[in-house]
């Protein structure tokens, strides 16, 4: 993760006031570059449907419906992911100035004031969406957004949190845990079922799926001084074991939830679909270990995450057969 040899000219951040006519296209360009909708929307859809689908399989009596409420939950999670991206860009500014100077904030394509304005708009939108759903959902979402902002201060206060990658992971992953609670609570309010024990299993499944991608994208064949890589801390073999182990655990939990060996007909094929996601792990590992890529290739890692979630969704739809509307 070294800076490219050449790149766009860096401009010092400007502090002159900007009108909305200036800022809107700059924010649009920022999100297109750093939070492309094809990635963030897809992830929000897959995450919500996979987690709620898991809950539906674990709660056979649940009346799980694909309708407006579920769509609202997806939009709410998508906005939260955008909020994380905007905050992370500000939090990582000093690191990016050294390692990623071509990103929008360090190169001056956007400024902190505009990103904070985007944060404010996202908070307003989240309040509107979640208030329409319920007060508990509003409280959980506001807690998550507040915790995201707290992490910025925490990294400023603590060099340990800032510089030790596993400590940073430990304190930052609750952002996703709280969002998982939000998705579960939305399911519970809509169906009247879904005990906390089901949430725990579904959340662990989603955590293992995401952690494969997280460990993969920060695993390098060589030690890179100053870079935030898991392989810098636990070595190449340890980082690869974490990457592969999380994928195997995710697929194992998915199969334990769906139990395809107990299904019949087309549902059996759907139930085994999450297993095929391991092909992406094999492909990524083969490219990495054969030294065709200096780091674990991000494409197969993202492919595993997407295909595992998609397989879980298809399996859940085959088993549960949810209704429409509501």
pLDDT at 325 (0 to 100)? 67
Positive or negative: CA dihedral 79, 24, 113, 19:
negative
Q: Above 90 in pLDDT, residue 77?
A: yes
* Alpha-carbon span 81 to 74, nearest angstrom: 11
Whether residue 263 is predicted with pLDDT greater than 70 in this model: the reply is yes
Residue 278, pLDDT > 60, answer yes
Q: What is residue 23's predicted lDDT score, i.e. its pLDDT?
A: 86
Residue 78 in contact with residue 44, Cβ under 8 Å?
yes
More confident residue, 229 or 292: 229
* pLDDT of res. 209: 97
Q: Please, where are the H alpha helices in the chain?
A: 20-34, 37-58, 68-91, 93-99, 104-107, 112-133, 135-157, 159-163, 165-172, 174-191, 196-217, 230-258, 266-271, 278-289, 298-320
Q: Which of 156-160, 177-181, 289-293, 322-326 has the lowest mean pLDDT?
A: 322-326
pLDDT for 130 beyond 70: yes
Inter-CA distances, 54 with 108, 114, 257, 284, 307, Å: 43, 38, 7, 26, 15
Q: Which of 310, 302, 301, 303 is nearest to 254 (CA)?
A: 310
pLDDT of residue 13 exceeding 60, the answer is no
Percent of the chain with pLDDT over 90: 75
Confidence label for 2 from pLDDT (cuts 50, 70 and 90): very low
Q: Is the pTM of this model over 0.85?
A: yes
What is the average pLDDT value for the chain, to the nearest integer?
A: 90
Nearest to 177 by CA among 211, 154, 149: 211
Checking if the pLDDT of 9 tops 80, the result is: no
Residue 10 has pLDDT above 50, yes or no: no
Q: For the beta carbon of residue 149, count every other beta carbon within 10 angstroms.
A: 15
Q: Is the pLDDT at 14 greater than 50, yes or no?
A: no
Point out the least confidently predicted range of 97-101, 200-204, 273-277. Answer: 97-101
């Amino acid at each position: 993760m070294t800076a490219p040899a050449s790149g766009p000219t860096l401009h010092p951040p400007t502090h002159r006031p900007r009108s909305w006519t200036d800022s809107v296209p700059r924010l649009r360009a920022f999100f297109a570059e750093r939070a492309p909708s094809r990635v963030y929307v897809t992830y929000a859809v897959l995450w919500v449907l996979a987690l709620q689908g898991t809950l539906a399989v674990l709660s056979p009596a649940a009346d799980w419906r694909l309708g407006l409420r579920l769509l609202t939950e997806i939009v709410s999670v998508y906005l939260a992911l955008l909020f994380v991206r905007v905050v992370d860009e500000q939090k990582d500014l000093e690191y990016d100035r050294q390692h990623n100077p071509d990103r929008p904030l360090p190169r001056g394509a956007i400024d902190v004031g505009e990103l904070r304005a985007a944060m404010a708009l996202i908070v307003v939108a989240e309040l509107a969406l979640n208030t329409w759903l319920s007060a508990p959902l509003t409280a959980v979402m506001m807690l998550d957004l507040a915790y995201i902002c707290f992490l910025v201060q925490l990294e400023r206060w603590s060099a340990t949190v800032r510089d030790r990658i596993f400590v940073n992971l430990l304190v930052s992953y609750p952002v996703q845990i709280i969002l998982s609670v939000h998705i579960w609570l939305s399911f519970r309010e809509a169906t009247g079922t879904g005990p906390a024990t089901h949430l725990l299993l579904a959340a662990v499944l989603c955590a293992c799926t995401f952690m494969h991608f997280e460990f993969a994208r920060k695993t390098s064949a060589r030690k890179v001084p100053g870079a935030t890589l898991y392989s810098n801390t636990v070595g190449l073999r340890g980082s690869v074991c974490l990457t592969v182990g999380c994928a195997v655990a995710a697929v194992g939990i998915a199969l334990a939830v769906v139990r395809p060996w107990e299904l019949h007909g087309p549902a059996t094929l759907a139930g085994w679909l999450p297993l095929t996601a391991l092909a992406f792990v094999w492909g990524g590992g083969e490219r990495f270990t054969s030294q065709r890529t200096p780091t674990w290739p991000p494409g197969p890692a993202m492919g595993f995450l997407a295909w595992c979630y998609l397989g879980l969704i298809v399996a859940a739809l085959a088993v549960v057969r949810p209704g429409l509307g509501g």
